[in-house]
Amino acid sequence: MPPVVMDAISEEKVAKLLDFNHKLDIGLLDSVVTLMYSSTGSQQQMAQQVLTTLKEHPDAWTRVDSILEYSGNQQSKYYALQILENLIKTRWKVLPREQCEGIKRYIVGLVIKTSSNPQMLESEKVYLGKLNMILVQILKHEWPKNWPSFISDIVGSSKSNESLCQNNMVILKLLSEEVFEFNSGQLTQVKARHLKDNMCAEFSLIFQLCQHVLDNSQNAPLVAATLETLLKFTHWIPLGYLFQTKLIATLVHKFLNVPMFRNVTLKCLTEIAGVQTSEYNDQFVQLFCLTTERLKEMLPISTNIREAYQRGRDDEQNFIQNLSLFYCTFLREHASLVETSSALQGHFSDALTYLVLISEVDEVEIFKICLEYWNSLCTELYRENPFVSVLPEVGRPDRRRVYWPVLSSLRRIMISRMAKPEEVLVVENEQGEVVREFMKDTDSVALYKSMRETLVYLTHLDPVETERVITEKLLRQVDGSEWSWKNLSTLCWAVGSISGAMNEDDERRFIVVVIRELLGLCEHKQGKDNKAIVAANIMYVVGQYPRFLRAHWRFLKTVVNKLFEFMHETHEGVQDMACDTFIKIANKCRRQFVQLQAGEVTPFVEEILCNLSSIICDLQPAQVHTFYEALGMMIGAQPDRQQQDIMIEQLFCLPNQEPDTVRQLSVLLRTNVSACRSLGHPYVRQLGRNFMDMLSLYKLLSEDISKAVVAHGELVAKQPLIRAMRGVKKETLRLLDCWVGRSTDPALVSDKFVPPLCEAVLLDYQRNVASAREPEVLALLATIVSKLGEQASQHVPPMLDAVFECTLEMLSQDQHEFPEHRLNLFTLLEAVTQSCFTTLIRLPTDRLRIVLESVLWAVRHSLRSVSETGLSIVLRLLQKVDCLDPAAAGQFHANFFMSLLQHLFSVLTDPLQAGQLSQVSSVLCLMFSLCERDRLHTQLQASVSNSEFVLQSLSALLSEAYPHLQRPQIAVFVQGCFSFNADQKRFREHLRDFLVQIREFTGEDLSDLYLEEQQEEIRRAQEAKLAQQCTVPGILNPHEVQDAMED
């Protein structure tokens, strides 16, 4: 029957679809599904709602067979299979046994029917793929206990029909993936182990089938499917099947040179090459030799692989990638078997030549594969003889002599392909334009770090060769024979990457030549783009050689003056790089700027301070902030306090001028923040001058903002003037936060700064409307508490009185409003817990309860940073309580232990909080450990031990929350929490297993959960713990120790 055309979904039609007392109208369902996938807007939403409601109905699975048999809509069939898959994953155990068998037979019948016909196998590929997946989900429940003959069944059926055999190979591959690769979070560890053991035990039948197909079949799709399945098997099957059969020879001689099979065959050989064992060294050598000989026939060693890759089809390009994987894997694991054998030198040399040629391919992913191997090789060669570099041929260590010709080629590749470092901001874009880069290319940065490390090792191995290659390439840039922006940049990135890899004398000679040539290039090149590229590379190179700059003052001064010139260059990105390079040099060479150098009248920093306005006149505010931070580093290195104070006065001459607007004031405050960040405590000289004025201005601005809000409503806060005024308040708070965090005199902070600060800030925060409260206040208070520690005890109560409850009221209105306030409030509580715990624990019980409830609320929050902070507070709190005297600790645990435990289990079992398992596990592990070691110092329940009480309470809680779990399951889980609390990793895995169990309904048959094995593992853990305790005299209660006096 053709589907009914639906313009709207009436309530009558919806009711008809959801009425399970009548036969399902397949045409109506098809039309709803069609509406879902073809319409938009409200109609699509309504269709989705109907289908979701139908899918969630507990009896929806009873409709599946009708849909699959009578529907002509592929999307409807797929929808039906989704219903069935959901049933199998969550409710299989509660179905009656006969229904399970019926569903199993039905799915097997559909799979056989669909896959036995070669035409249907191809045309129904998506539908059959879903059927296969459902069958595998059933197998995870049924095999081996309820379906012990599965392996023999599937192998036997495969011999009757080639297309059926092809699909059976897919099923076996899926099963292998589910058991060995994707079982985390889907199967308990014990169950996954049992399935793996059964797969290995019955693998002989599967292997015989694979071998039979590979030896005899002429059906190309079947052979391809068999090879793909074999690929999934190679990393877990017993090694005898790989090395004691003719598998390797079959793969190499029969399939490696066949275009259709060569990629999957090479992947299989790569997996075999990656096996780590010393039992089959001869077979590994045979694998290497056979494969290399066959590859030389397929891809002669004289081939220009770089060009071949560019011209090649997708499968040919994939083959080159797989070839790189094969050789990198083999040589990383088994190079020692072939590198020193004179009989194998030809094959070994060919393998290295292939890798060098592949490393030249212009494809980043392939290059990364080769780079990983080259990096590990160079690391090994260096660490074997770390202080041996250039030696005559006869004096080189054996392994270095073997690899020496290859390393020479590799050096050139690394230098010519060096990736862009993070510091470089002026780049050539895809259109060939020189532009400022705003977004960091994280892939490029990671690639640079790996290439840099490799080139550093190569330089250690032969610094003379590295210097020669770089110098030759640089001269070709100067004479124009190889000039291009890309070539110059990669060369300079390589130069910068080897800083520190040569001895100091060689490095001095080398870098003088490089900088001299680059400066000459900058003078001679015409055009702003050319000069910008050269300038960017000069700045990068000089910034990478602080050791050289520190030792050569004249050169350092010349470089810095050149940077000051670049700060007036208007080309995009050049000023940014000049400022970034200046701060890098200031950080590494700060003392050179404040010392009186030979031939100078004054320290260079004084010259900079005198010319400050002319140097920074063309810079943007953010660049000025960077410049001031660099100067702060220099001035901070001045050992003479009096001279330092004079320099600080000079530094702030410009920022201390009266601003014309509120926005200018905000910019000046940010300048102060940047300088304070690098000056540290000495900034008190500038702060002392302005502190009281800043607080007065803070109060004044707060009053004006409050008046505006009262007069015009909260929307006035979005007006430019009010936003600018709030910006000044924020920057003031950030400045104070910055200085307090870097102060070295906690007493000064506590006595002179905190009282007036709290008077100005706390009352304003408490009285202000929610939208006008600055989150930076909470961050500042957290910094004060962390810096002062117990000295903050007198300040913490008024701080909490002013900010805690009013902030909590703000946050409780909406889960997503005020995210900064939310995080900063709990950061403050974390600081109080860590640094001022005594004050916190002495709060009245009711007040402490509110604090803890707020922390538990944070733990359950959807914002991960808030949740992590909440969990960190709970963990620190429990650790601190454990250090209290027994009376105080007992009072805390009596009031809060069980409540904390219940809330944490609520978080643990919440699917939305799955990402917090590690932290929740740490806290729960500590709690069970405290309980078991009798560290609660209180009786949670009269007449019963704390461990027994927690066991009973938690079992009752879980039984109520998850009625589908059986009592033995819960008992094993709770007992395991006590047994595994000495091993955090094992404890976390125990929790993860439990989460797997609660996500599926379980019927009476518990054998599939392997409870006996879990109980045995728990028993062994308890025995191991007891044995360890017995080795420490006195750790056990004397009544727990059996001695010779007892019978």
Q: Does some domain include residue 595?
A: yes
Regarding whether 621 and 759 lie in a shared domain, the answer is: no
User: Which residue do the tokens 């150098």 mark?
Assistant: 597
Name the percent of the chain lying above pLDDT 90. 55
Predicted confidence at residue 243, as pLDDT, reads 95
Regarding whether 696 and 794 lie in a shared domain, the answer is: yes
Distance of CA 532 to the CA centre of its chain: 36
Q: Does some domain include residue 706?
A: yes
Burial class (CB in 10 A: 0-12, 13-18, 19+), 450: middle
Gap between the Cα atoms of 596 and 405, Å rounded:
50
Q: Whole domain around residue 606: which residue ranges?
A: 563-642
Which SS3 state, helix, strand or coil, does residue 627 take?
Answer: helix
Q: Does some domain include residue 1015?
A: no
Gap between the Cα atoms of 373 and 380, Å rounded:
11
Considering 792, 809, 826, which residue would you say is the last residue of a domain? Answer: 826
Per-position b or e across 768-783, b if 16+ CB within 10 A of its CB: beeebbbbbbbbbbbb
Domains of the chain: total: 2
Nearest residue to 458 via CA among 493, 490, 502? 502
Q: Does some domain include residue 24?
A: no
Predicted confidence at residue 35, as pLDDT, reads 85
- Report the CATH number that the domain containing residue 628 is assigned in CATH: 1.20.1440.250
Regarding whether 612 and 660 lie in a shared domain, the answer is: no
Considering 642, 665, 685, which residue would you say is the last residue of a domain? Answer: 642
Q: Does some domain include residue 273?
A: no
Other CB atoms closer than 10 Å to residue 998's CB: what's the count? 19
DSSP string for residues in 818-859: -HHHHHHHHHHHHHHHHH-HHHHHTS-HHHHHHHHHHHHHHH
Regarding whether 680 and 821 lie in a shared domain, the answer is: yes
Q: Does some domain include residue 5?
A: no
Gap between the Cα atoms of 573 and 668, Å rounded:
23
- Report the CATH number that the domain containing residue 671 is assigned in CATH: 1.25.10.10
Regarding whether 804 and 696 lie in a shared domain, the answer is: yes
Predicted confidence at residue 8, as pLDDT, reads 53
Regarding whether 619 and 763 lie in a shared domain, the answer is: no
Q: Under a CB-based contact definition with an 8 Å cutoff, are residues 566 and 616 in contact? A: no
Regarding whether 701 and 623 lie in a shared domain, the answer is: no
Predicted confidence at residue 285, as pLDDT, reads 95
Predicted confidence at residue 424, as pLDDT, reads 63
Considering 770, 800, 826, which residue would you say is the last residue of a domain? Answer: 826
Q: Does some domain include residue 366?
A: no
Regarding whether 630 and 590 lie in a shared domain, the answer is: yes
Chain segment 125-171, per-residue pLDDT in tens: 989 999 999 999 999 888 888 899 999 999 999 988 899 999 999 99
Compute, in degrees rounded to 10, the torsion defined by CA atoms 644, 647, 648, 652: 180
Q: Is the pTM of the predicted complex or chain greater than 0.75?
A: yes
Regarding whether 800 and 727 lie in a shared domain, the answer is: yes
Regarding whether 774 and 667 lie in a shared domain, the answer is: yes
Q: Does some domain include residue 312?
A: no
Regarding whether 605 and 747 lie in a shared domain, the answer is: no
Q: Six-digit token pair at 535?
A: 């300038």
Q: Mean pLDDT in runs of 10 for the chain (1047 residues)?
A: 48 78 86 85 84 87 87 88 87 85 92 92 90 92 89 92 94 89 70 84 92 94 96 90 94 95 96 93 95 95 94 95 97 92 91 96 95 94 74 58 92 94 63 53 82 92 94 92 90 92 90 89 82 84 89 91 90 85 92 92 94 94 94 95 94 89 92 95 94 92 85 80 91 96 94 92 88 92 94 92 92 84 94 92 90 91 89 95 92 93 90 80 94 91 90 92 85 91 89 82 46 65 68 47 45
Predicted confidence at residue 9, as pLDDT, reads 59
Predicted confidence at residue 640, as pLDDT, reads 93
Regarding whether 763 and 623 lie in a shared domain, the answer is: no
Predicted confidence at residue 1045, as pLDDT, reads 38
